Amino acid sequence: METKPLRTGGELEEIIHRYQSMVYGLALARTGSAADADDVFQETFLAYYRTGKTFREEEHRKAWLLRTALNLSRRVTASTYRSKVVPLEEGEGVALPFREPEENQVWQALQSLAEEYRLPIYLFYFEELSTQEIAKILAIRPGTVRMRLSRGRDQLRTLLKGDYFHGE
């Protein structure tokens, strides 16, 4: 039986450093829970370490990490355990990801959107991915990504209207 060489600590640390905010942010946007996002983050990089997969281009590595984080996030949110637990009261002990209150308000509004709008908006605006890249990660057509971005922006505009759009 042939074994794959394990990654060196330095290489793994560099990859984690490069993609940590992207993987964690996607997991947080998908699960809505910092604890679940932590678990997905760890499992994503553990899977990367264990597979020993090599990539010809950095874009392929990035896509693999995001796709893996998305799949692991889905597994977490679909678990029967999650449907049997009672969440803590909203806002209790939950650390918001930004320093500025306005950014946290936008983040909270984003979290209230349905996943089909939340994920494309997160990947487009927070991670600055193209609609083509988002389409590959989410396994949907680029036109569908553009439609979801448009509808998601409309919903965010409505949610934030009282806070940010006083003059309209």
In whole angstroms, what is the distance from residue 95 CA to residue 138 CA? 27
- The pLDDT score that the predictor gives to residue 2 is 43
pLDDT tier, 81 (very low <50, low <70, confident <90, very high otherwise): low
Contact 70, 138 (CB under 8 A): yes
- The pLDDT score that the predictor gives to residue 91 is 46
Contact 52, 95 (CB under 8 A): no
User: Could you tell me the two tokens for 157?
Assistant: 């505009």
In whole angstroms, what is the distance from residue 67 CA to residue 87 CA? 27
Q: Mean pLDDT of all residues in the chain? A: 83
pLDDT tier, 1 (very low <50, low <70, confident <90, very high otherwise): very low
User: Could you tell me the two tokens for 10?
Assistant: 């330095």
In whole angstroms, what is the distance from residue 24 CA to residue 72 CA? 12
Residue 94 has pLDDT above 90, yes or no: no
Contact 3, 50 (CB under 8 A): no
Residues 100-132 have pLDDT tens digits of 777 778 888 888 999 899 999 999 988 899 999
- The pLDDT score that the predictor gives to residue 108 is 85
In whole angstroms, what is the distance from residue 31 CA to residue 76 CA? 8
In whole angstroms, what is the distance from residue 159 CA to residue 60 CA? 35
- The pLDDT score that the predictor gives to residue 65 is 96
- The pLDDT score that the predictor gives to residue 93 is 45
- Amino acid at site 37: A
Residues 137-147 have pLDDT tens digits of 999 999 999 99
Q: Where would I find the H helices in 2-141?
A: 9-31, 34-51, 58-78, 80-84, 101-111, 115-121, 131-138
Q: What is the pTM assigned to this prediction?
A: 0.75
Contact 167, 135 (CB under 8 A): no
User: Could you tell me the two tokens for 35?
Assistant: 């604890």
